[in-house]
Structure 1
Amino acid sequence: MQTKLPSGLSGWRRRVGRLALLAGTVAALAMPQAARAADRFVPGTPEAGADIPKATIKFGMRPYADNTFYYIGMKKGWFDEVGISFDPAPYGLKANDSNATTLLLNGQLDVISEFCPLMLPTYKQADKLKCIAFTDNFLGNAILANPALKLKSFKDYIAEGKSYEEALKAALAPMKGKQLVGAPQLSDRAFEEYVNKTSGAGFRLQVLDDSKSLVLAKAGREDFVNPEGAPIVYTLRQAGWTDLIDIGDLIKNGPGGVDSPIEPLIGIVGVGANSDYVNKNPNTVLRFLSVVWRIIAEVKKDPSLFAIQAPYLNSVAGTDLDGKGVADTVSVLDPFTSFEDDKQYYDDPHATVNYANVWGATIKDFEAHKIIPEGKVKPDDVVWGGAIWHLMVDYKTKTDALFAKLDTARLSGDKKALYDKAKAFYADYDFLDAYRLALAASA
C-alpha cells in the first residue's frame, strides 16, 4: 500500500522521483552489460611477507561532524602507517549529498563517508553501492523552534506527566499549518513525516540547504527548522533555539519493538563504497577501516583530538566550532560506535540498531514511497559491513592464538622485531597486518 504523505510533503515525492530517475540513468550507464557475479563481499588472501602494501583510495567526505573525523587520522599520519594515501591528495574530495551517489557509481570515488540509505534509490537499476561499515548512531534529527517564540518542548510536556501522544501533539501544536525548513537529504523525511502525521500538526516542508538555512536562522528569519547536519543542530541549540522534539525523544518514549514505527527513523551513519572497488581491494578496505576504528577509539580516550578536525569541518559546513564544540556535537548527536560495540549492529538480532531490523524497515519505507521496487532489495544486498567486520574479528582471534604461542617462544632479534610490530598493529585495530606479522614471526 502506498503511504500517503502529510500535507506539504508531496513535493518531496517529485524530488525523490527525479533523484531515482537520475540515479537509475547514471546506474544504467555505469553497470557492465555482462551479468554481475554473486553480490556479496569476497575476502582477500593476506599478502605474503611483512611489508605493508601501498594503496591510494579515491575518497570523499560529506560536510558533517560524523563524516569528517577521518581528517584526524590523515593529519596524525595513521593512514600512512597502513600504506594508504588519498586521491585527490592529501585529504580526498569535499563531497556532498547532491554528488556523492553519482561519484561512487561512476568510479570517481571508491569510498565515501555516508548515510547509506541515501544510496538506496540507485537500486532501482543498479546494485553497485554498498555500506561497508557503521560508525555512529545519528541522534541529530530535531525540530528546533526560534527562541523568540518561547515554546515548550516535548520533554517539558513529558515532565508534566503527559503521555507520549499527548506530549507530541502539544509540542508540535504551534506548527499547525506553519512551515518547517528542512534539508534536501532523504535521511530526515521519515522523521518529519512521522511527527507530522502522529501529532496532527500538518506543517508544510520547505527544502533548503543547511548552510543557507543557518544564515536565515541566525538572522531570525525562520521559525521552525530541521537541519541535516549535527553541527548545525548543535550551533542553533547553543544559540538558544528550542528543541521541540528530537529522535532521542521518540526512541526513549515511543513504542518499541521490531515492528515499531520508530524503527525506520533510526539513522546509522557509516561508510559507503563501490562494490567493484571493494572486491578488487578487500585488504585495502580492511586497512582503511582499521584506521577508522582507531580514530574512534582514540577520540573516546582523548576528545582534544577533535581540535584537529574542527578547522576542516568549519571550512566545509559553515560552522564556527572549536575542538570542544565538535566533541560535544559528537557526544550528544553523533555518538561513535567502537569496533568492539559493532556487535550490536551485526550479532544482536534483538538490538534496536541491528542492521537487519533497521534496514528492513528502511527498505519497506522506500518501497512504500515507490523509490525502489517492492521485494527487490534485502538488507544483506546493501550492507556488507557485517561480513567485513566478522572477517576482522576472525583475524583478531587468529592473532590472539599466535600471540599466545609467541609469548612463550624463544625469538631471534628479527622475529622479536616482527612480533613487536604485530603487537603495535594489533593495538591500532589493524588485525590483518597484526596477523601477517605474527605469522611471519612464528614461522
Structure 2
Amino acid sequence: MKTFFQTIAAGLLGLTALAALQPAAAQDRFVPAAPEAGVAIPAATIKFGMRPYADNTFYIIGMKKGWFTDVGISFDPAPYGLKANDSNVTTLLLNGQLDLISEFCPLMLPTYKDAAKLKCIGFTDNFLANAILANPRLKLKTFKDHIAEGMGFEAALQATLAPLKGKTLVGAPQLSDRAFEDYLNKTSGAGFKLQVLDDAKSLVLAKAGREDFVNPEGAPIVYTLRQAGWTNLVDIGDLIKHGPGGVDSPIEPLIGIVGLGANADYVNANQNTVLRFMSVVWRIIDATKADPSLYELQAPYLNSFAGTSLDGKGVEATVEILHPFTAFDANKQYYDDKTSTVYYANVWSAIIRDFEAHGIIPAGKITPDDVVWGGPIWRQLVDYRTRTDGLMAKLAGMTLAPDKQALAGKAKTFYAAYDFLDAYRLALAASQ
C-alpha cells in the first residue's frame, strides 16, 4: 500500500516548481494592524474557497444570512466563493488565486520544503470521522466490542481488523487519511490493500453493496453509511480514547483539527479583514448551536458539492457526532491548555516530526508557530473584547448625546456577533 508520505512526495514536484516561482517568503509571524480610524466598516472582497465537507461548507450559512455583509465582506467569485478540493487547493493558495480556504492545514505543510507562505489562521472543529466501516452483511464485531470484552488496545485492533487481512480498503484520495490508514494497517498487522476512490463514487458502490470496507474522507459520507447500517469497525475516537497518550504518542499525528488556511501575504496585508472574517465564523458556530435549523441553509449547497442527500437535521447530526464545532472561548483548548490532546504545539510538533522523518520538509527548520497563526489572531480578538468591556463599563456611567448612544448601541451589536474589533472601534468613538 502506498503510504501517506510516499503519496505526498509524489505530489511535491509540482508544488515545488510552483513555490520556486513565488516571491520571497512572507514574514514568519502574524503582524497585527491598528484599528481603522473612524466608525465606517471598510469594504473588502476575499477570494475564498470551500472544500466539499460539512465542516468546510458551514460558511454558506453566514453568506446566506448576510452576516459577512454586516462586516463589509464579499466574496470572489460571487456570491459564495470557489468550490475547491484537496487536489487543487494548495496550488490555488500558493499562486494567489485564493486568499483563504476551508482546510485541513497539514495538507499545506509539504510546501514548506521551498516556501513558507501558507498559514493556518484558525481552527473550527476536531475531526472525528476517520473510520473504517464494514458492509453490514459481514456482521463483524467492532473495536468497542473487543474492548468491552477485556482486550488490550493492540489486541483489540488486531481482532477488529483481522477480517481485512489480504482484502481491499476503499479510501479517499485525500492525503489527510493516509496516516490513519497506515497506522491501523501496521499496528493491527492486517496488511490490507488500499484502493483510492473519490467519496462520491465510493458512496454509489457502497449503496450497491459492491464494497466491503471503506474509509471515506467526508463526514457526510461516514454519517450516511452509518445511517444505512454500515458497521463502524474502528474510528479515530477509539484511538484517542484507548491508545497510548503523551507528546510522543503515535496517536498524536493522527489527530485531525479542521480550520482555515490562508496565504500569508494576504493575511499580513489585510489583518483586520481576517479578524472580521473570523468573527463571522464564530458567529455562525454560536448561532447553529442555538438554532440548528440554520443547517437547512447549508444542506443544499453541501449536497450539490459532496453528492450526499442530507437535510438540515442530517447535517446537524453529522456535526454533532463526527466533528463538533469549537466555540470562540473553547479555543483555549488549542492555544492555552498545554494538557489538552489538541494543544496546537503538541499536535503540530508530532506532525512536523513525521514529515521531517520522511524527508518531506527539512529537519529542524520549522516550528508549529511558523505555520499556525490562529493563536495570535484569536488572542487579538480576545484583547479587543477585554478593551471593549472596559469602554462599555465607562459608557454605562456617562450621559451620552444621541449620536454617541447610537454608536454605543452598534458597538453592542458587533460585540454580540463576535466582531470585537468593530465593537471596540465604535465604543471608543462613543466614549470620546
Which band: TM-score by shorter chain?
Answer: over 0.9
**Is this contact kept in 1: 2:26–2:117, CA < 8 A?**
no
CA contact (8 A) 2:25 2:117 kept: no
Q: Work out whether residues 60 and 92 of structure 1, in 8 Å CA contact, stay in contact via their aligned partners in 2.
A: yes
Where does residue 255 of structure 2 map in the other structure? 266
How far, CA to CA, are the matches of 2:42 and 2:264 in structure 1?
Answer: 21
Match of 2:11 in 1: 19
With 89-98 and 369-378 compared, the bigger mean Cα shift is at 369-378
Write the deviation string for residues 112-140 of structure 1: whole angstroms up to 9, x where unpaired: 00000000111111111000000000000
**Is the 1:100–1:112 contact (alpha carbons within 8 Å) kept by the matching residues of 2?**
yes
State the distance in 2 between where 1:394 and 1:125 align: 34
Q: CA deviation at 1:270?
A: 0.1
Q: How far off its partner does 1:38 sit?
A: 3.4
Q: 1:110 to 1:38 in 2, by over 3 A?
A: closer
Distance (Å, rounded) in 1 between the aligned partners of 2:203 and 2:25: 44
Deviation at 1:368, TM superposition (A): 2.0
Q: Does 1:123 align with 2:112?
A: yes
> Does residue 60 of structure 2 align to residue 71 of structure 1?
yes
The 10-residue stretch of structure 1 (196-205 or 12-21) with the greater mean CA deviation from structure 2: 12-21
TM-score, length-scaled by structure 2 = 0.98
Q: How many angstroms does 1:13 deviate by?
A: 4.6
State the shift of 1:316 in Å: 0.2
CA distance change for structure 1 residues 38 and 109 in 2, over 3 Å: closer, same or farther?
closer
1:211 counterpart (200, 203, 207): 200
Counterpart residue identity of residue 119, structure 1: M
Residue 383 of structure 1 deviates from its aligned partner by 0.4
Instruction: Write the mapping of 1:106-121 to structure 2, written as runs, cut at 5 A.
Output: 106-121=95-110
Q: How many pairs does the alignment contain?
A: 432
Match of 1:9 among 2, 10, 33: 2
Contact 1:19 1:121 in 2 (8 A): no
Query: Is this contact kept in 2: 1:144–1:225, CA < 8 A?
Result: yes
Bigger mean CA deviation after superposition, 364-373 or 377-386:
364-373
Letter in 1 for 2:15: A
Quote the residue 1:301 is aligned against. 290
Match of 1:388? 377
Judged with a 3 Å threshold, the aligned counterparts in structure 2 of structure 1 residues 213 and 37 are, in CA distance, closer, same or farther, namely closer
Deviation at 1:18, TM superposition (A): 2.3
- Consecutive unaligned residues in structure 1, runs of 5 or more: 1-7
Which residue pairs with 1:361 in the alignment?
350
Find the partner of 2:28 among 24, 39, 42.
Answer: 39
1:373 to 358, 362, 377: 362
Alignment of 1:192-207 (within 5 A): 192-207=181-196
CA 1:122 to 1:36, structure 2 compared with 1: closer, same or farther past 3 Å? closer
Report what 1:430 is aligned to.
Answer: 419
Closer, same or farther: CA 169–37 of 1 in aligned 2, 3 Å: closer
1:141-290 matches, within 5 Å, as 141-290=130-279
Q: Which amino acid aligns with 2:384?
A: Y
SS at match of 2:324: coil
Q: Is the 8 A contact 2:7 2:175 kept in 1?
A: no
Is 1:64–1:230's contact at 8 Å kept on the other side of the alignment? yes
Matched letter for residue 391 of structure 2: L
1:164 Cα deviation after fit = 1.6
1:99-110 to 2 correspondence within 5 Å?
99-110=88-99
Partner residue in 1 for 2:70 = 81
| CA–CA separation in structure 1 for the residues paired with 2:73 and 2:26 | 27
Cα separation, partners in 2 of 1:37 and 1:61, compared to 1, 3 Å: closer
The CA distance in 1 between the partners of 2:61 and 2:26, in whole Å, is 36
Q: Quick check: 2:131–2:234 contact (8 Å CA) kept in 1? A: yes
- Matched with 2:40 is 51
Equivalent pair of 2:391/2:427 in contact (CA under 8 Å): yes
Per-residue displacement from partner, 1:147-206 (whole Å, max 9, x unpaired)? 111111001111222222221111101011111111111111111111111111111111
Q: Within 1, Cα distance between the matches of 2:209 and 2:233?
A: 17
- How far did residue 36 of structure 1 move? 4.0
Letter in 2 for 1:373: P
Matches of 1:154 and 1:130, distance apart in 2: 36
Q: Specify the SS of the correspondent of 1:280.
A: coil
Letter in 1 for 2:11: L
| Alignment partner of 1:28 is 2:20 | yes
Cα deviation for residue 15 of structure 1 reads 3.1
For the residue of structure 2 that corresponds to 1:245, the secondary structure is: strand
SS at match of 1:375: coil
Q: Aligned equivalents of 1:37 and 1:90: distance in 2?
A: 29
| Structure 2: distance between partners of 1:181 and 1:371 | 25
Tell me the amino acid that sits aligned with residue 189 of structure 2.
Answer: G
CA distance in 1: counterparts of 2:282 and 2:74, whole angstroms: 17
Separation in 1, partners of 2:123, 2:310: 25
SS of the counterpart of 1:284? helix
Q: CA deviation at 1:21?
A: 1.2
- Structure 1 residue 37: deviation in Å? 5.4
* Contact residue 182 and residue 228 of structure 1 kept, 8 A: yes
Structure 2 stretches of 5 or more lacking a match?
none
Q: CA deviation at 1:9?
A: 2.5
Encode CA deviations 1:359-402: one digit per residue, 9 max, x unaligned.
Answer: 00111111222222222211111000001011111101100110
Q: Which residue of 2 aligns with 1:5?
A: none
The answer (yes or no) to whether the contact 1:348–1:354 under 8 Å persists in 2 is yes
Between the aligned residues of both structures, percent identity stands at 75
Spell out the pairing of 1:386-425 with structure 2 (5 A cutoff): 386-425=375-414
Aligned-partner residue type, residue 395 of structure 1: Y
Contact map agreement 2:26 2:264 (CA 8 A) in 1: no
Secondary structure of 1:134's aligned partner: strand
Residues 78-112 of structure 1, C-alpha deviations (whole Å, 9 max, x = no match) = 00000000000000000111110000000000000
Counterparts of 2:25 and 2:224, CA distance in 1: 46
